[in-house]
Amino acid sequence: MKVVVLGHICIDKNTNGNLTYVGPGGPPFFISRVFKTLKNCSLTIISPYGHDGQKYFRKLNLYPKKPPARKTLIYENFFLNGKRVQKAYNRQQAQPINLTPQIKKIISQAEIFFLTPLLPNYSISYLQGVKELLKKNCLKILLPQGYFRAFSKENQVYQRNFIEAEAILPFFDFIICSNEDHQKIFSWVKIWTQKTKVIITLAENGAFFFCQRKKLFVPTQAVKKEEIINFIGAGDTFTAAFAYKYFLTGKLKKSLVFAHRLARQNLFCLPNQPLLLNPKDAFKIKSKSF
């Protein structure tokens, strides 16, 4: 199974209670952690990064092989009254990678393709060029976090509307996002389902799937707050696990259950620790169609 992730890798600076972590971050990193756990998978990340990020990304199959920038995108996360507050630095140096012959070849071989921007700088014309390279039967998934983000002069992240959605969504088989990505996200579902299939995660409350004629809710087994070690990357873990199982089976509910299971495992380990898949951690759930 050949997997390609195009997007933004970053350096995470996370403060979560008494825990402070500095290390590799961004959806490509957490997605790669999932596919390292699973069998018969090869994953390539295509992302801008700088010389300061090399020590964090040594174990990743990252292209270009040499850093194209001086500094790496940094996301600083801290929690205030239970809500995540973010700042982003070095944004101007995190430009999409040029589609060189080598990069084009990598993209053209993908069986599962993820677009995972952390900034809204992957243009429609750039993605059109990417789409033309992908196989017809490639499973294409969008994690649109970056399209929901704008930035103040003080580098603080705040919400923007996904104004490119109408043009970009038809490129993908699924869009997967969190209900926390934007306050209006559920009001956009009816529009989005005219273009693609939509999955919205609700953290410990499960996930919704939407398409034009179907709505499916799949709950999960919540973890007690005092047992959670880390929840950064849980949504990316969910997405990677869903894509893996859906590519193999084409079964929607089965894939969502598997995704919940691995996302739950994410809560019990630090970002720099391997994701352990415990067969005994399976749980029975009942989905609900509408």
Q: SS3 sequence, 161-228?
A: CCCCHHHHHHHCCEEEEECCCCCCHHHHHHHHCCCCEEEEECHHHCEEEEECCEEEEECCCCCCHHHC
Is it the case that residue 61 has pLDDT exceeding 60? Answer: yes
Report pLDDT for 281.
45
Q: What's the number of domains the chain is made of?
A: 1
Q: In angstroms, rounded to a whole number, what is the distance separating the alpha carbons of residues 56 and 23?
A: 6
Domain holding 174, by residue range, is 2-289
Percent of the chain with pLDDT over 70: 85
Surface-to-core class of residue 163, CB atoms within 10 Å of its CB (0-12 exposed, 13-18 middle, 19+ buried)? exposed
Report pLDDT for 43.
97
- The per-residue pLDDT of the chain, averaged, comes to 87
pTM for this predicted structure = 0.89
Report pLDDT for 286.
43
Q: Which of 180-189, 250-259, 264-273 has the lowest mean pLDDT?
A: 264-273
Q: Which CATH number goes with the domain that contains 278? A: 3.40.1190.20
Report pLDDT for 249.
95
Among 2-11, 181-190, 229-238, name the most confident range: 2-11
Is it the case that residue 252 has pLDDT exceeding 90? Answer: yes
Is it the case that residue 227 has pLDDT exceeding 60? Answer: no
